[in-house]
Structure 1
Amino acid sequence: MDTWVFYVIGGVLLAGYMVWQWQHNKKKIAHFTQVAQQRGWQYRPKDSSVLGRFRGSPFNSRGHSRRARHVFSGQHRGKPFCCYEYTYKVTSGSGSNRRTQTYYFRIASVSTPATRPTLEISKEGWGSKMLDFVGVRDLQLESVEFNKAFKIKTENDKFAYDVLHPRTMEWMLHDPRAPETPVRFENGGLVTWERGKFDLEWMQPRLDYLCEFVERVPEFVWK
């Protein structure tokens, strides 16, 4: 078979895939719009303006072409929230060996009553990158069990102690969501993230967890 035939077949297959992808995305946008309307939320297919709020993981990763898609916002359990799909690209190599890979993350955040110092709590052993903030360091609490289970990074020890009081530590140690849900207090919000494309089924459980976490912070912390 002549080489040009392969090019023609490849072109037809590529065009077919692009049409399918466009139709699939169009249906997804229509579905997300309907869900947002039913729940009294706002939905925007694209809005990269939301990317300027947080600076820690995964936004501190090297890359380019950063985008935010499927942006939901509104109120959940009385708290303003924002959820979306975050993507960035990493290009490596050169010439014929040049490759570009796209990374996908699901992001969920709720607003806190006031802006407080940065505090990140994640599963111990994940090897997460250090936050891009001056003065942020690892912290060890009095609970040996908690220290074995979680990594705490903070720029203010007192804020960390106030947030992670004994009752909250006990709750996190026994809640199966906690090890798989990294959280960070930053710039007036509590944010969590996970590798993968946006998923409606993922959103509400994470928002519930974030709201519960904020509700466990003593009132005096916000005053």
Structure 2
Amino acid sequence: MESGVAVVLVFMVLAAVVVVGGIAWGIVAFTRRRAYIKSVQQRGWLFVNSPTFDAVARLGNPPFGIGFDRKPDDQITGMTGTGRPFQVIEYKNGHWSGWVGMVTLSRRLPELWITGGETAPRYGVLAQGVPAPPQLGPGWQVGALDVAFANAVLTPQLCQQLNAMAAGQPGVNLSIDGDQVVVLDPPRKELDRLGPWLEQLGAVAAAIDATPLDQWIQPEPPPRLTFYHHPEWYWIGVDDSLLQLAPVNRGGFGHRTDQVVRGRDGDGPPFIAFKHHWKTQRTETSTDSNGNSHSRTVTEHHSEPILGFQLPIRMPPLTVGRKGLSSGIEFESAAFNEQFAIFAQDPKYAYDVIHPRQMEYLMATPGAPFRLEGEWAWFSPGEHSQPAIAHCSVYLRGFLAGVPRFVWRNLGLAENPFPPLETPAVR
């Protein structure tokens, strides 16, 4: 008995030590944070503990503009010694987390990527490699969508400033994002270093501003969260009214939406995309060793991705899916029938839409199942993600381009609203 009591006492002492240690660590962390914030403020800068999305709304290139899980955190703002606004902010998305520093340019410019040392390119970047000018020296990589713009920006003056920055921070990872020069991993913990670092970044921005680049000025974007390389997509967040429009699962209770995105790609149909969440409950009954029955209510959580594209006119029901247990309408192509199951109330309408060239497109282009229903095309994308939405958008655009003109005319439109693309519809 005494040994049992001793064990209990030991555990109680250890638990108390852990609790006291945790409290002490919390006090130290709180004290250090307060001292850090005070030091920031003494430099004439502003510290924001929980910035809103407005802090990053003007930014659209990685690490911004990627995915649905985005979170800005601690933020420092102020002006450099030459009066140039700056921001240092903690940021996290589904693929990256860390700190970002930036200063403001006088113009909005196309994206440009410059990395030095052994720094890897940022996740999600789509750019063409551009030869780095000899003034930068070995180890530098340059990426851009417009090679002429990259060559115009990389003046000897800018190369000099980039080499100076690299001397104090090996592995520079810099980009132009609209009217901001953005660099990953600023020395934000060491404020005595951060000040000079920001001045050096301001010198980089000054070298860019001094270069005649007006022919590449970009238009001002709408003030909303956007998506990289999808300028007409925008973030909504929550819109439960969509549950009345979309073909969601109607069972259970607690229906809600999140991660709502709207937009379109070029002249393709506009879309809505979101995650639908709901709950169900069931009762479990068990019997204990004494033969007594016990019941408990179990709540289960469910979710599904919803993706719909608005059509320019009501279209008769038509489902395009992969071959499963149901074969659907038979077409003249045995190869097509082996891969696809097509369903429609009017077989003639199905034959008009799924003609031989349309069959070739569907067989050559992997895509998620979808159905045309009234004014909407509803997909079963399998996941709610930026790549899934983008792929379905291009896939449907190519399919609609293949619908014959006489079909559109029979529906009430004079011409096909989606003319054939000059380039392949889906890469």
Q: Does the TM-score normalized on the shorter chain lie above 0.5? A: yes
5 Å matches for 1:1-223? 27=71, 34-36=225-227, 39-55=231-247, 59-60=248-249, 62-78=251-267, 79-94=269-284, 95-96=295-296, 98-105=298-305, 107-125=306-324, 138-175=328-365, 177-178=366-367, 181-196=368-383, 198-223=384-409
Shift of 1:60: 4.8
Please say which of residues 74-83 and 89-98 is displaced more in the overlay: 89-98
Q: Distance in 2 between matches of 1:40 and 1:174?
A: 28
Aligned pair count reads 186
Q: Distance in 2 between matches of 1:215 and 1:89?
A: 40
Shift of 1:157: 1.6
Does the CA contact (< 8 Å) of 2:277 and 2:301 recur in 1? no
Gaps of 5+ in 1: 10-23, 129-136
Provide closer, same or farther for how the CA distance between residues 210 and 144 of structure 1 changes in structure 2, counting only shifts above 3 A. same
Does the CA contact (< 8 Å) of 1:108 and 1:207 recur in 2? no
Does the CA contact (< 8 Å) of 1:64 and 1:88 recur in 2? yes
Amino acid at match of 2:255: R
**CA deviation profile, 1:64-95 (whole Å, cap 9, x unmatched):** 33332222223322122222222333333344
SS at match of 1:104: strand
Amino acid at match of 2:270: P
Does the CA contact (< 8 Å) of 2:370 and 2:378 recur in 1? yes
Amino acid at match of 1:202: A
Q: Percent identity?
A: 25
- Moved beyond 4 Å, runs of 4+: 30-33
SS at match of 1:207: helix
Normalising by structure 1, report the TM-score: 0.69
Provide closer, same or farther for how the CA distance between residues 166 and 54 of structure 1 changes in structure 2, counting only shifts above 3 A. farther
Normalising by structure 2, report the TM-score: 0.38
Q: Going by fraction, where is helix more abundant, 1 or 2?
A: 1
SS at match of 1:111: strand
CA RMSD across the alignment: 3.3
Does the CA contact (< 8 Å) of 1:122 and 1:183 recur in 2? yes
Q: Which has the higher contact order (CA 8 A, sep 6+)?
A: 1
Does the CA contact (< 8 Å) of 2:272 and 2:307 recur in 1? yes
Q: Distance in 1 between matches of 2:271 and 2:380?
A: 14
